[in-house]
């Protein structure tokens, strides 16, 4: 084999490595499938897993009866919680002394706690489609047409009026296992003696349900809890609507969202999904949806099967602080949107011309290591048709003034 051939084959191998490493399923597939696995797990496997965990725990403490082990753990956690400065349902992370915390109640307006730009320069949100979300996709704001992430010639043909020049940026710190324990205790759940996954902060069991608390997935989703119903015989009869059934379940388990939301319902086969799409209050304006990397709204989701709740997935309630930042005008944002061009994923030559006909102020999660931000952004969207198929093009433009963004 000549040197030239050898080099060609090496280059091809590198391309294949890249191809296989960058080919990944759509955003949300990973968590959705995991949720399906949990739901479809036969009851005897659930029982066996529970017994295995319990037996494992007893083996580690040979002479102790199982009941005593469980009781000891509950007491130990309670002492740990007290040692951490008391019990706060919503008080997961370190609420700083920077000012009064966000009023984490439905519909409450936040109180700007600190001066403009006090979190320093911020990382910018990712463009739609450029990052993979592992958060379950929650629609209503979901796409009715496929998302196009390739290059396009963009034209702004819409109208949006935002009567404010500042908007709050929210920050929270990554929770610890102690925070997960506090949350579990508030739900009446105690630790399950099972080994944990890599992202798992804790696994618990309560009266008729199990609880799993997961840390952030970088650039993808915030800390998450997953409640799985293990004993449906204890559930009350379904309410008149899926939303009312979900509301009742959340209230009974102290899981009702502590933030403004908009409820939507989706159906897939015999499964119903009640989505509580999270919103953030923008003083002087209105509410802005939280969107995932595809530009789709999300928040808390209740999955119903045969009309009864089987699973709840939602963001772990955490202490959150805010600071006001200057934001750019809609005109500036539109100019940025029109000037943007997304690399990769395109299929049309020349790139399609897309009229961006709608825009809205939204919030996007931006991961920054041991803490994350919810940052305001403008989400522009428009559609175009290619080979008879209508596609959606979305452009996310950071709303925070560029002087306050890290390069």
Partner 1 sequence: MLADRPPFEDLYREFLGRIYAYVRAQVATSADAEDITAQVFMNAYQAYGRFEVRNTTPAAWLFRIARNATLDHFRAHGRRERLRRTIEHQPMSEEDPAGMAEERIQYKALLQHVAKLPERQREAISLRHSGLSFEEVGVLMTCSEDAAKMLYHRALKALRESVKEQMA
Estimate to the nearest angstrom the gap between the alpha carbon of 263 and the chain centroid: 16
Closest C-alpha to 78, from 178, 205, 206: 178
Residue 43 is a binding residue for partner 1 (CB under 8 A): no
Least distance from C-beta 176 to partner 1, angstroms? 20
- DSSP string of 125-172? PPPTTSS---SPP--SSS-SS-EE-S--EEEE--------SEEEEEEE
Q: Which stretch binds partner 1 (CB under 8 A): 34-42, 101-109, 354-362, 373-381?
A: 34-42
Regarding 369 and contact with partner 1 (CB under 8 A), the answer is no
**Of 20-28, 155-163, 172-180, 361-369, which segment contacts partner 1 by CB under 8 A?**
20-28
Binders of partner 1 among 189-218, rule CB under 8 A?
A: 194-200
Nearer of residues 27 and 184 to partner 1, judged by Cβ: 27
Say if CB 219 and CB 225 are below 8 A apart.
no
| SS3 state at 20 | helix
Contact string 103-142 vs partner 1 (x = CB under 8 A): --------------------------x--xx---------
Window contacting partner 1 (CB under 8 A); options: 74-82, 117-125, 188-196, 283-291: 188-196
The stretch near partner 1 (CB under 8 A) out of 24-32, 76-84, 259-267, 368-376 is: 24-32
Residue 294 CB, shortest distance to partner 1, in Å, is: 5
CB of 209 to partner 1, least distance (A): 18
Examine residue 28 and tell whether it contacts partner 1 (CB under 8 A): yes
What is the DSSP secondary-structure string of 225-246?
A: EEEEES-GGGSPPP-SSHHHHH
Packing angle between helix 43-60 and helix 66-83, nearest 10 degrees? 80
Give the three-class secondary structure for 215: coil
Cα(77)–Cα(56) distance, rounded to whole angstroms?
Answer: 19
Residue 208: which residues within 8 A CB-CB, separation 6 or more?
229, 230, 231, 232, 234, 235
8 A C-beta contact, residue 205 and residue 187: no
Nearer to partner 1, 112 or 346 (CB): 346
Kindly state whether residue 168 participates in binding partner 1, applying the rule CB under 8 A.
no
Between residues 194 and 264, which has the closer beta carbon with respect to partner 1? 194
- Asked if residues 313 and 225 have their Cβ atoms less than 8 Å apart, the reply is yes
Site membership for partner 1, residue 83 (CB under 8 A): no
Q: Work out which of 40, 85, 163, 233 binds partner 1, going by CB under 8 A.
A: 40
Q: Give the C-alpha separation, 326 to 304, whole Å.
A: 42
From residue 260 to residue 299, the character string flagging contacts with partner 1 as x (rule: CB under 8 A) and all else as - is: ----------------------------------x-----
Which tokens is 29 given? 């597939």
Cα 140 to Cα 70, 356, 396, distances in angstroms: 43, 20, 19
CB 194 within 8 A of CB 49: yes
**Of residues 14 and 232, the one with the C-beta less far from partner 1:** 14
Query: Binding-site residue total for partner 1 (CB under 8 A)?
Result: 52
**Residue among 62 and 240 whose Cβ is closer to partner 1:** 62
103 versus 196: smaller Cβ distance to partner 1: 196
- Min dist CB 174 to partner 1, Å, is 18
Residues in contact with partner 1 by the rule CB under 8 A: 8-9, 12-13, 15-30, 33-34, 36-37, 40-41, 45, 48, 52, 56, 129, 132-133, 143, 145-147, 194-200, 294, 344-345, 347, 386-387, 389, 391
């Amino acid at each position: 084999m000549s040197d030239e051939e050898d080099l060609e084959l090496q280059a091809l191998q590198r391309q294949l490595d890249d191809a296989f490493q960058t080919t990944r399923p759509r955003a949300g597939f990973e968590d959705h499938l995991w949720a399906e696995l949990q739901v479809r797990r036969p009851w005897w496997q659930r029982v066996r897993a529970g017994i295995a965990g319990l037996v494992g725990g007893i083996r580690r403490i040979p002479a102790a009866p199982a009941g005593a082990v469980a009781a000891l753990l509950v007491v130990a956690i309670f002492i740990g919680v007290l040692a951490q400065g008391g019990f706060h349902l919503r008080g997961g992370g370190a609420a700083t002394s920077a000012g009064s915390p966000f009023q984490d109640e439905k519909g409450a307006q936040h109180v700007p706690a600190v001066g403009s730009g006090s979190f320093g320069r911020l990382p910018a949100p990712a463009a739609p489609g450029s990052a993979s979300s592992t958060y379950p996709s929650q629609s209503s704001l979901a796409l009715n047409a496929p998302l196009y992430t390739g290059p396009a010639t963009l034209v702004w043909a819409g109208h949006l009026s935002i009567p404010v020049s500042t908007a709050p940026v929210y920050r929270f710190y990554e929770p610890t296992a102690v925070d997960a324990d506090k949350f579990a205790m508030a739900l009446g759940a105690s630790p399950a003696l099972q080994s944990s996954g890599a992202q798992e902060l804790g696994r618990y069991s309560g009266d008729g349900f199990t609880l799993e608390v997961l840390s952030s997935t970088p650039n993808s989703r915030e800390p998450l809890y997953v409640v799985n119903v293990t004993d449906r015989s204890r559930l009350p009869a379904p309410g008149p609507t899926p939303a009312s059934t979900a509301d009742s379940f959340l209230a009974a388990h102290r899981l009702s969202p502590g933030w403004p939301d908009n409820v939507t319902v989706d159906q897939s086969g015999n499964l119903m999904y009640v989505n509580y799409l999270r919103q953030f209050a923008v003083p002087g304006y209105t509410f802005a949806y939280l969107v995932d990397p595809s530009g789709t709204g999300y928040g808390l989701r209740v999955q119903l099967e045969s009309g009864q709740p089987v699973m709840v997935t939602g963001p772990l309630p955490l202490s959150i602080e805010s600071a006001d930042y200057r934001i750019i005008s809609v005109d500036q944002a539109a100019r940025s949107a029109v000037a943007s061009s997304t690399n990769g994923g395109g299929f049309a030559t020349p790139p399609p011309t897309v009229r961006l006909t709608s825009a809205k102020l939204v919030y996007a999660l931006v991961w920054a290591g041991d803490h994350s931000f919810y940052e305001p952004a403008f989400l522009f969207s428009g559609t175009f048709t290619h080979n008879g198929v209508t596609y959606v093009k979305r452009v996310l433009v950071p709303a925070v003034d560029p002087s306050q963004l890290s390069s």
